[in-house]
Chain A
């Protein structure tokens, strides 16, 4: 049991860290576009904002288990196969991008508009305002959004077990649920709870320290 658990734990860490990394990198782009084009943004643009806002909402409303199946062709195209830990990174990342976009957007828009105005009054350009004011000032809020993302990705990665993604969810479903082995369910759950606790504590600590 220990060997299986260690292997599954490593797979889960791999999936969570990997998809967090990709989704944060990719989620930043729509987040910044949303912030810029919002009615009170630096470059208000109703059309772009409305369309992007809609797309983000659509992707956020997909239940993960359905999204996972729908994107199988995309997964194949990117990862070369539809099953396995690495392949699971694709649906996990896709599902987390709109989530990340939202949490980062809300962090950026939480920046006091007075600071933006002050920066403008000193002749800052838009890029400098994003870099030196928006991102600088909202960094703790962004980190806490990323913490939130990681925690939901732990949940999603466990769901990935249903289609053979590996990791703790896979063990829980196949050994625990389908194999009627109750201890597996308990142990995987405990490990997942510990994960969430650790990530949340680190997130809280960093938020406090940086803000």
Chain B
């Protein structure tokens, strides 16, 4: 649906996107994650033509974005709704008029039977039917983002672009908005591209993710693969703190998926090899409903050969954490 190849973008002498390539398929909830200044928002704006790019290519909905005339660009923008961190609602328009605004840009009368029905349906979808005459200042952050979502969907887009859409919201409201995005993806069959610095967002709704650092992709794949990988940049970003681990012996990180249970593996490791070890750190994480866990244990150096062999025999994913 969107193919990006060798994309580069500069602001003056500053390279903000460096040779980025990836593909987004129909039905994806595609995550672009990275720290502030990594170039992720700029990348998103290149996709719908709000920003130009210096070299490389973006083919969106079958068209090379940089080659489009102004009219063609506007028509591709019609197929891509967008929501923002700061919601960007017009303060002087009520909820209904805010949702109707993109229709007016396309010279459609919101009061037409069909359009009016659509606005009401969208407000129902986002759960704000009762706020139809309210003004943005009377709404909470989460409600404002819901209005923005309804507005972004009013032109029947094929793709929804989310620029840090939950970054200004508290954790509970973030959950609600993510659930809503998931619902939109499943029920309306809209492809969603999510730009965020929040790991939670990626874990909960994305089926694919690219990790951007200083304008470069340092990792891409499924979220569950990415976050349990030993990629230093990602671990650094996630704030995985290995400083507190024991300085003696060997620290080993084990990864668990739904298939093998944590306690079982560990207890049988102790029993079968008849060794002692410390359990230093463990956590379970939720990826779109499936649970992934990791556990860090500390073993004696003399035991390492047989422990490694044991992991190998039992098909357990593991890695040694080296002392920083």
Contacts and interface: CB of A to CB of B under 8 A. Distances in A.
Judge: A and B partners, yes or no: yes
Contacts of B67: none
A124 B50 contact: no
Nearest to A210: B92
A123 B105 contact: yes
Q: Determine the interface band of chain A, counting residues with CB < 8 A from chain B.
A: 20 to 34
B84 interface: yes
B77 A139 contact: no
B104 A132 contact: yes
Nearest to A122: B102
The DSSP consensus for interface residues of chain A is: helix
Contact of B86 (A114, A119, A122): A114
Nearest to A132: B104
A139 B93 CA distance: 12
Given A128-B105, A132-B105, A136-B93, A122 B88 contact: no
Given A117-B50, A117-B84, A122 B101 contact: yes
Contact of A120 (B50, B81, B86): B50
A100 interface: no
Contacts of B155: 122-123
Contacts of A211: 91-92
The DSSP consensus for interface residues of chain B is: mixed
Contacts of A112: 86, 88
Contacts of B90: 115, 133, 136-137
A143 to B, nearest CB: 12
A74 to B, nearest CB: 38
Of B75, B82, B105, B161, most buried by chain A (CB within 10 Å of CB) is B105
A93 to B, nearest CB: 29
Nearest to A136: B92
B40 to A, nearest CB: 16
B182 interface: no
Nearest to A113: B88
Nearest to B154: A122
Contacts of A210: 92
B84 A118 contact: yes
Interface string A130-159: 001100110110000000000000000000
Contacts of B93: 136
Contacts of A140: 92
Given A117-B50, A122-B155, A128-B105, A139 B75 contact: no
Contacts of B48: 121
A117 B51 CA distance: 11
Nearest to B106: A123
A151 B151 CA distance: 41
A61 interface: no
A140 B90 CA distance: 13
A178 interface: no
Given A114-B84, A117-B50, A137 B91 contact: yes
Contacts of A121: 48, 50, 77, 80-82, 161
Contacts of A124: 74, 102, 105
B78 interface: yes
B75 A123 contact: yes
Nearest to B98: A118
Interface in B62-89: 70, 73-75, 77-78, 80-82, 84, 86, 88-89
Contacts of A132: 101, 104-105
Contacts of B102: 122-124
Contact of A139 (B80, B92, B151): B92
State the 6 A-B residue pairs at the shortest beta-carbon distance, nearest first.
A123-B74, A118-B88, A122-B102, A123-B77, A121-B82, A114-B88
Given A122-B105, A122-B155, A123-B155, 9 more contacts: A114-B84, A119-B105, A123-B73, A123-B78, A132-B104, A136-B93, A137-B90, A139-B92, A211-B92
29 contacts: A114-B84, A114-B86, A115-B90, A118-B82, A119-B105, A120-B50, A121-B48, A121-B81, A122-B101, A123-B73, A123-B75, A123-B77, A123-B78, A123-B102, A123-B105, A123-B106, A123-B155, A124-B74, A125-B105, A128-B104, A128-B105, A132-B101, A133-B90, A136-B90, A136-B92, A137-B91, A139-B92, A210-B92, A211-B91
